[in-house]
Amino acid sequence: MAAVELDSTNGDFEKLFSAKAKELMARLEQNDLTGAVGLIQDLQKVRDENLYQEIGQLTRALHESIKKFRLDSSVQGAGSDIDEANEGLAYVVNMTAKAANTTMDKVEESMPLSEGIASSSAEINQEWKRFLKKELAPAEFRDLTKRITVFLESTDASTRKINKNLSDILLAQDFQDLTGQVIQKITTMVTDVEARLVNLVAMAGHVDQLTGINHGKIEVEKKEEDLQQGVGPQLNAENEEDVATGQDDVDDLLSSLGF
């Protein structure tokens, strides 16, 4: 990788620099001013050459990164990796919404069917118990047998429909596989972008060294969470002290406040 190569050239430069500095001291001690000035010019030249080299490498790495992630918006319709990630995440939202809706459709369709079976069987059961206790009149019994026939037929149809719906619900979970793949791809991309950025920063650091530029400590702006707006689900609730880990925790907190 470019960074490794860079380190070595930088190392050479440092060695040369310190060797020349010692030589410079020696010349000054010997009152050889002309030689000393010549050395300083040499040093300047080496530094300039190194600087150009470093800048060249930095520029190349930048170009490569832009090419790699297709971030160059001047190329129409190229679709950068960021665009692709956005599209991927929109796909995840759509897929999960579709699966949730399909599942709820099927559940809403199935619930009245199972409720129907439950209420009919409860009714028939009551009559059946009366029959076993020989409390049913012949006309009532004839009525019961008719109701049992209807019940058996409708239960057959209802359970088939419920089974079909359950199987559809099962299939609706296929989003997990598809969205998982998309998210994994985006995770890889983000990690890659991060690694390249870190590399670019390291290369730029060498340029700073050679030019003697000191940026001071770069303050990384801490992103203030807007609790009023809402910050969304906590991904590591267990490890954060200021986060409720579950409903019990919420209830404890509220009861401590007099709820």
Q: With binding defined as CB under 8 A, does residue 232 bind other proteins?
A: yes
Find the shortest distance in angstroms from Cβ 179 to other proteins. 14
| CB-nearer residue toward other proteins: 152 or 231 | 231
- Taking CB atoms within 8 Å and a gap of at least 24, the contacts of 81-85 are 81/189, 81/193, 84/189, 85/186, 85/189, 85/190
Q: With binding defined as CB under 8 A, does residue 118 bind other proteins?
A: no
* Count of CB atoms situated within 10 Å of the CB of 170: 11
Please give the DSSP secondary-structure letter assigned to residue 256. Answer: H
Both tokens of 8, joined, read 């070595």
Q: CA–CA separation, 151 vs 35, rounded Å?
A: 112
Both tokens of 84, joined, read 């692709």
Question: What phi, psi does 243 have (nearest 5°)?
Answer: -120, 135
Find the shortest distance in angstroms from Cβ 173 to other proteins. 15
Name the segment binding other proteins (CB under 8 A); options: 56-64, 104-112, 142-150, 165-173: 104-112
Name the segment binding other proteins (CB under 8 A); options: 47-55, 80-88, 206-214, 243-251: 243-251
Binder of other proteins out of 21, 40, 107, 170 (CB under 8 A): 107
- Give the DSSP per-residue string, 17-83: HHHHHHHHHHHHHTT-HHHHHHHHHHHHHHHHHHHHHHHHHHHHHHHHHHHHTT--TTSTT---HHH
Find the shortest distance in angstroms from Cβ 108 to other proteins. 7
CB of 56 closer than 8 Å to CB of 64: no
Name the segment binding other proteins (CB under 8 A); options: 29-37, 95-103, 119-127, 153-161: 95-103
Q: With binding defined as CB under 8 A, does residue 101 bind other proteins?
A: yes
Find the shortest distance in angstroms from Cβ 238 to other proteins. 11
Both tokens of 140, joined, read 């009532």
Name the segment binding other proteins (CB under 8 A); options: 14-22, 121-129, 174-182, 249-257: 249-257
Q: With binding defined as CB under 8 A, does residue 244 bind other proteins?
A: yes
Q: With binding defined as CB under 8 A, does residue 227 bind other proteins?
A: yes
Residue type, 204: A
**Stretch 124-143: interaction string toward other proteins, x if CB under 8 A:** --------------------
Both tokens of 228, joined, read 């009023």
Q: CA–CA separation, 82 vs 28, rounded Å?
A: 58
Binder of other proteins out of 108, 135, 140, 153 (CB under 8 A): 108
Find the shortest distance in angstroms from Cβ 229 to other proteins. 6
Q: Which residues bind other proteins (CB under 8 A)?
A: 97, 100-101, 104, 107-108, 227-234, 237, 242-247, 250, 253-254, 257, 259
